A and B are shown apart, each in its own frame.
Chain A
Amino acid sequence: MIIHILNGFVYGGLLYLVAIGLVLIFGIRQVVNFAHGSLFMLGAYVGYAATAIAGFWAGVVAATLVLAILGLLLDRAVFRPLQDQDPIVTLLVTFGLLLVIEDLVRTVWGKDTLTIAMPDLLSGTLRIAGEDFPVYRLFVILVAAGMGAGLTLWLKRSRIGLYVRAFASDPLTTGTQGVDTERVSAAVVALGAGFAGLAGIIAGPLLALSPAMGGSILIESFIVVVVGGFGSFSGAFVAALVIGQLQNLGIVFIPSFSTMIPFLLMMLILLWRPLGLTGRAA
């Protein structure tokens, strides 16, 4: 059972890394970013290319940085110009972006599934509860937990974190207080996209790379965001862990219904607390 719970944390951790980017971008730009799954996928492919040249750790840095820069560009070229438009326009544009990024990846890397080799340092197994458990999976849990803690500290302790929280709850007042909200927004979108890139390369040694790999994780990440409460950083963390566990334990105890569990949970949460576990009315 301990192994099943650890596996739940692994998938929950990956979901958290993707979902937190969605939360950051929604919190600041009020954009439901349909292209986020393709940013995760692009991160994996950029990481694959960099890993092939300079090794896995260079891949981690490259995927995170390249996607963060892409996030800056997206904010400048898409989210900022469209911020006064009907939200449905932005949503459609992000859906278009998803298709463009998928086609781009298909053109550059093809449709065949690719894999990223695990770094030697993390390729062994550890004996836990009498079972061999891959060290890399523990690494994924640590990365997700580390990123969660780092983000929380950054938001609570740093000046820019203060601006982000203020902007997320009242952009107008924050702007009138002299905060350069455009720069804050750009930084946050870059951070969200960077998280997607990091999740992509971290997932690389576990999941086969294909242009469609962002699709299913995006749906599950949206469920995390809805369950946690749109725009809630702590809610996303709790929801990702809960969904990761429920999905895994579902496979163990009620395999026929396991794929339905996240959707059922979302329905129940929406009925019980329409703003999510930690969501608050504006």
Chain B
Amino acid sequence: MGWTMRLGGALAAAMMLPVAAMAQEPLRIGVPTALTGTYADLGSQVKRAIAFAAAEANAAGGIDGHKVEVEYLDTEAKPDLARRQAEKLALQGNKVLIGAIASGEALAIAPLLARWDALYIATTNKSDKITAEACVPRMFRVNRPDSSDAATMAPWLKGRSEETWAVMAADIAWGRDVAASFGKAAAAQGKKVVLENFSALGTNDFATYIQKIKDSGAKGVWVALAGRDAVNFAMQAKQAGLLDSATVAGVSFVTDNTVASIGDAAKGVAGIINYSSTLDNPANKAFVAAWEKAYPGTTPTNFEGETYIAMQVLFQAVKAAGSVKAADIAKALPGRTYATILGDQQMRREDNQLVGPNFFGVVEVFDGKLRPVVKMSVPAETATVAPSPACKIAG
């Protein structure tokens, strides 16, 4: 009896071993993001937020005991390279992918996620396609899509007196999406888009585009440029007098880093603000305080805030799944409500879109520093438009 007891105990212990080992298995995150190129500035913000969240989690003993490990690879914001780098990360075992910059990158990664047994969380990718015709069960989005920005911009546009508008957008999926949604919103308000400019990613000189806007007679300009393109355009528009002669507003244009780069020229520029460190809620205040301690002299930018939300959602999903395996996390993610720095937000089952609020604001001095300040909040149910029927992942 004694030996059978001992054998039974040994067998039980052996059976427990994988469970114990799994408990120690790290949560391995792969970040295929733009570390060089036009969007390197955005990539470095994504990287900083992920590193911050991972360090914070590890300092607290990991996520349910799972240490958080992160690998980064440069995509230069190019879809083909993003697909190759994401594959490399996934094949190395970093199957929780997060943080590519351009929408085209997410769209290139999405069809291959099931093959890699990976999942992808979008934190800055805005194209509506990601949660519509291109949606897949393994792809999730925490940031606000173009349709949300359009829904937030529409009430602002309604109150504007400018009747003629020009669009200045990056010639990528996101820029085209923004131009289309702005055109629809303008038409609905009886306003006219008299010019659409699409510039190549990494454009150095916007002078000709700016002159075309001036020649068009547009009284307002809606801008969908990010990173270095946004800074180049803003600087040159100021020099050519466009910022003074027309109303210039935009999406991803009024960001903390753009404002920091162009300085006083940004004062008064309005636009969509997807996250602001100035938002007044306890969770955000705690996050900002911890951030300022980790990175003295800085406050989290919009992209850093949105990426941190992705990490909050991911960590809670890992806890709910009781696993760090991508398949288990992907199963646990939809349908749940997550506590985030923008309040409780639900990951919608129909299209894997996190349902959250959106904001509109203006660049002004806040706490002695020039930054985007929220002037209008749009609640989650209005800001996140209904799921597209083109996405058929639910059920």
Contacts and interface: CB of A to CB of B under 8 A. Distances in A.
A135 B75 CA distance: 38
A7 interface: yes
Contacts of A125: 239-241
Categorize the interface residue count of chain A.
35 or more
B202 A113 contact: no
A211 B40 contact: yes
A55 B263 CA distance: 17
Nearest to B227: A113
Contacts of B197: 255
Interface string A115-135: 100100000010000011110
B204 A7 contact: no
Contacts of A279: none
A264 interface: no
A66 B208 CA distance: 33
B44 interface: yes
B284 interface: no
B205 A212 contact: no
Contact of B261 (A113, A118, A203, A205): A113
Contact of B239 (A136, A211, A251): A136
A206 B235 contact: yes
B232 A255 contact: no
Nearest to B245: A132
B103 to A, nearest CB: 20
A84 to B, nearest CB: 33
A213 interface: yes
Contacts, number: 96
A115 B263 contact: yes
A75 interface: no
A280 interface: no
A211 B208 contact: no
A217 B204 contact: yes
Contacts of B40: 111, 210-212
B211 interface: yes
A131 B211 CA distance: 9
Given A114-B261, A132-B240, A212-B40, A10 B205 contact: yes
Nearest to B40: A111
B231 A113 contact: yes
B37 interface: yes
A210 B226 CA distance: 14
Contacts of A86: none
Contacts of B209: 251
A216 B204 contact: yes
B41 A134 contact: no
A134 B240 contact: yes
B337 interface: no
Contacts of B198: 255
A259 interface: yes
B252 to A, nearest CB: 14
B59 interface: no
A13 to B, nearest CB: 11
A1 to B, nearest CB: 10
A118 B204 contact: no
Given A115-B261, A248-B208, A212 B239 contact: no
A212 B204 contact: no
A34 interface: no
A208 B241 CA distance: 18
Contacts of A274: none
Given A132-B240, A136-B239, A3 B41 contact: no
B207 A7 contact: yes
A210 B239 contact: no
A110 B232 CA distance: 18
Nearest to A134: B239
B247 interface: no
Interface in B13-66: 35-38, 40-41, 43-44
B208 A102 contact: no
A102 B37 CA distance: 11
B175 to A, nearest CB: 13
A206 B205 contact: yes
Contacts of A114: 261
B257 to A, nearest CB: 6
Interface string B203-234: 01101110110100000000000011001100
A210 B201 CA distance: 14
Nearest to B202: A216
Interface string B247-276: 000000000010011110000000000000
A112 B208 contact: no
A254 to B, nearest CB: 12
Interface in A2-55: 3-4, 7-8, 10-11
A123 B224 CA distance: 27
B208 A7 contact: yes
A252 B209 CA distance: 8
B211 A118 contact: no
B1 interface: no
Given A113-B228, A212-B37, A213-B228, A252 B212 contact: yes
A111 B41 contact: yes
B36 A102 contact: yes
Contacts of B37: 212, 215
A129 to B, nearest CB: 11
Contacts of B262: 115
B73 to A, nearest CB: 16
A205 B202 CA distance: 17
A208 B207 contact: no
B236 interface: yes
A132 B241 CA distance: 7
Given A208-B228, A248-B207, 4 more contacts: A112-B44, A131-B214, A134-B239, A212-B228
Interface of A: 3-4, 7-8, 10-11, 102, 110-115, 118, 125, 131-134, 136-137, 203, 205-208, 210-213, 215-217, 248, 251-252, 255, 259
Which 8 pairs show the lowest CB-CB distances between chains A and B? A208-B231, A7-B207, A111-B44, A251-B208, A134-B239, A259-B200, A113-B261, A248-B208
